[in-house]
């Protein structure tokens, strides 16, 4: 991507100097949608139940809320950073501001709804969110309770090393996917889906897949804007498509279990994730992102 390093976004909360804390899932508000899969993946990879911190076998727990454990992150102290990480913070700032400026135009025009900025929280090790306390292993996530995106920048190393997804546009895709969940929250989509999941638990996984694929498509809608403004470089789209495909349910299950179980999918296959991002990218239209109508 063509971008100019600059300052830090006013919508970033830097909590990298905060203390760490434990993590325990419990009842209550939604933890956010984007991070659960990564937590499951790492549980499977390391044979350790990272949802509870106990040494158990693989788990298929779905998160419905957070409960603060003892030693939860407190107030932020001095942030120690490297020049490389400082540059990454500036890149994240650029993507965050660019995407939210884009949605500030697109959402009223295409959906008749005013956009409200989300905050993005940078943290290390563990973080207190409106949805509970989460560890780095949970991956990036959006919390609808406080309308914030949370990310440990070390996730990008995992994305590159464990999933083979590198490049700045792959990093941008991660952020804009989570902002896609914010758009769903503003439109009421996320709330309606969760209510339907409660009423019809037998289709909860299918609804989760459709919600995630729509967030992928919304990330593509932002991508279309960057293409129109000529800030993409050769290979950028392939980076995003590779990132989307690298974390498909089928690929991850094949990596971690050696077999694929479609009935347990919560995010969609590699092909679906890449296809819905591409659909949003090609059209730039939110109405082409209706994953809840018909087959996906």
Signed CA dihedral, 219, 223, 225, 226: sign only: positive
Which of 119, 110, 268, 108 has its CA nearest to residue 179?
Answer: 119
pLDDT higher than 90, residue 19: no
- Indicate if the pLDDT at residue 23 is higher than 80: no
**Is residue 55 very low, low, confident or very high in pLDDT (cuts 50, 70, 90)?**
very low
Q: What is the largest CA-CA distance in the chain?
A: 51
The sign of the CA dihedral 269, 59, 34, 194 is: positive
Task: Evaluate whether 142 touches 182 at the Cβ level (below 8 Å).
Answer: yes
pLDDT at 20: 52
pLDDT at res. 68: 30
Whether residue 43 is predicted with pLDDT greater than 50 in this model: the reply is no
pLDDT confidence of 4, banded at 50, 70, 90?
A: confident
Percent with pLDDT over 70 in the chain:
80
Look at residues 45, 69, 70, 48 and name the one whose alpha carbon lies nearest to residue 57: 48
DSSP three-state, residue 143: strand
Q: What is the mean predicted confidence (pLDDT) over 245-269?
A: 92
The structure's pTM equals: 0.83
pLDDT digits (tens, 9 = 90+) for 175-192: 999 999 999 999 999 999
């Amino acid at each position: 991507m063509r971008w100019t390093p600059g300052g830090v976004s006013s919508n970033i909360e830097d909590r990298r100097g905060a203390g760490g804390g434990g993590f325990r899932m419990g009842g209550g508000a939604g933890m956010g949608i984007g991070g659960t899969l990564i937590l499951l993946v790492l549980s499977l990879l390391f044979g350790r139940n990272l949802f509870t911190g106990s040494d158990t076998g693989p788990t298929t727990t779905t998160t419905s809320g957070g409960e603060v454990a003892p030693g939860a992150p407190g107030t932020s102290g001095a942030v120690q950073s490297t020049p490389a990480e400082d540059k990454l913070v500036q890149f994240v700032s650029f993507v965050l501001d660019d995407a939210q400026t884009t949605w500030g135009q697109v959402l009223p025009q295409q959906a008749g709804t005013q956009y409200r900025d989300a905050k993005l929280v940078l943290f290390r090790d563990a973080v207190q969110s409106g949805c509970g306390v989460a560890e780095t292993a949970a991956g990036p996530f959006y919390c609808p309770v406080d309308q914030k995106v949370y990310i440990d920048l070390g996730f990008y190393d995992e994305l590159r090393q464990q999933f083979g997804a590198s490049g700045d546009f792959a990093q941008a895709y991660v952020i804009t996917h989570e902002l896609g969940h914010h758009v769903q929250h503003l439109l009421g989509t996320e709330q309606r889906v969760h209510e339907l999941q409660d009423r019809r638990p037998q289709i909860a996984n299918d609804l989760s897949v459709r919600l995630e694929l729509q967030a992928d498509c919304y990330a593509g809608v932002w991508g279309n804007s960057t293409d129109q403004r000529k800030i993409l470089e050769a290979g950028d789209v392939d980076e995003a498509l590779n990132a989307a495909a690298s974390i498909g349910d089928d690929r991850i299950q094949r990596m971690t279990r050696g077999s694929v179980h479609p009935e347990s999918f919560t995010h969609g296959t590699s092909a679906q994730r890449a296809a819905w991002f591409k659909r949003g990218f090609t059209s730039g239209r939110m109405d082409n992102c209706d994953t809840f109508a018909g087959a996906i």
